Chain A
Amino acid sequence: MAEYYLDCMHEACPIPLLKALKQLSKMEIGDVLIMGTDHNCSIINVVEWVKKQGHAYDYVALGEGEWEIYIEKTR
C-alpha cells in the first residue's frame, strides 16, 4: 500500500477534481490519496465524484480554512 499527497492549495474547482482523477488512474487498488485543499467547494465536488465511483473516502478540517481529503482506491 502506497500513500500519495496531492497539493491542491489555492486551486479552484474543478482543478482539484481533475488532479485527483489523473492521480487515481495512476494508483494501484488499496493505495491512499491525500489531498490538501483550501477550497471547500472542491470537497463537495471531489467527495461526490468519489462516492459515485465507489471508492472509500473521508475528509477533515485542519482549521484556518484548510482541509484534507482521503481517498482509498478500492476498485
Chain B
Amino acid sequence: MSSAKIEAIKKQRQVSHTKGRNQVPYGLGVVLGAVIMLWAFHSQEGRSLQWILGILMGITLQRSRLCFTAGFRDPILVGSTKVLKAVLIGLILSTLGFYFLHLQSAAQGIADPLQLPGQIYPVGIHTALGAVVFGAAMVLAGGCASGTLVRVGEGYAMQLIVLIGFIIGTLLGARHYEFWDLMLISKAPTIYLPSLLGYRSTLVLQLLVLSLFYYLAHQYDRAHSMIQ
C-alpha cells in the first residue's frame, strides 16, 4: 500500500533515476549458451535431462525468491513465517512424491534404505552438529547453497565470496570425510520409518507432523503481526 507522500517523493526522485541498459542481448546470449550446452550433452541422455531440470529449478528459485535462509531466520528475527510456510509446503509435496518413488523402488526389490532415491543417511549427533554450523553460517553469509548460487547467477558480487568459502568448505569436508565417518557417522543408526511402520502409516504420520508445523507457523505469524 502506497501513500500520497510516497507518490510525491517517487515523482520527485524519478528525475535523477537513470534508465538501465537494455538487458535483452545478454538474455539472448545466455539462452544461446544454454542451447549449445544442451547440444553438447545430446549423446548423454541423463546429462541433458539434468541440465534442463537444473535450469528450470534455477528459474523457479530466482523468480519465487524462495530463500531457505530467510525461512529459518525470519521467524526468530522479525516474527514472519511466510517463507517457512513455503518450505513446509515444499516438504509436504516432496513427501508425496517420494512416497511413490519409494513404492516403485520397493516393487523393484531394493531393500537397503541407503540405496533408495532421496537423502537417507545415518542420523546422529553429527546431523545436529552439521545443522547448527550450516544454519549459523548461512545467516552470516546471507544465503544457503541454492540461494548463493542463484544470487551469483543474477550478478550479486558479494555472494561470490560466499561461493568461494562454500567450495573450500565442501573440499575440506570431502577430504576429512573418512575421519567423521569413523568417529560419528558409521556408529549412528540409519532410521527408515517405512521399514518400522509400513509405507502408508509413515506417509500419514509425516503429512500430519508437517501439517501441524504449518498450523503452528501460521499461528506464530498472526501472533507477531501488528495488523489483523
Enumerate chain A interface residues (CB-CB to B < 8 A): 1, 3, 10, 12-14, 17-18, 21, 30, 32, 34, 38-41, 44-45, 48-49, 51-54, 56-58, 60-65, 68, 70, 72, 74-75
Contacts and interface: CB of A to CB of B under 8 A. Distances in A.
B185 interface: no
B20 A34 contact: no
Contact of A70 (B10, B73, B79, B80): B10
B18 interface: yes
Contacts of A52: 79-80, 224-227
7 nearest A-B pairs in the assembled complex, by CB-CB distance: A63-B20, A12-B142, A56-B3, A58-B2, A54-B227, A70-B6, A64-B20
Contacts, number: 99
Contact of B65 (A44, A56, A61): A44
A64 B9 contact: no
A48 B80 contact: yes
Interface of B: 1-3, 5-7, 9-10, 13-14, 17-21, 65, 67, 69-70, 73-74, 77-80, 82, 139, 141-143, 147, 151, 154-156, 158-159, 224-227
Contacts of B156: 12, 38-39, 65
Contacts of B69: 13
Contact of A56 (B1, B17, B80): B1
Nearest to A71: B6
Given A10-B158, A17-B78, A41 B6 contact: no
A64 B3 contact: no
A75 B226 contact: yes
A21 to B, nearest CB: 8
Contacts of B224: 52
Given A14-B139, A62-B17, 8 more contacts: A13-B73, A14-B78, A17-B77, A17-B78, A32-B9, A52-B79, A52-B80, A63-B20
A61 B17 CA distance: 9
B226 A32 contact: no
A39 B18 CA distance: 18
Contact of A63 (B17, B78, B82, B155): B17
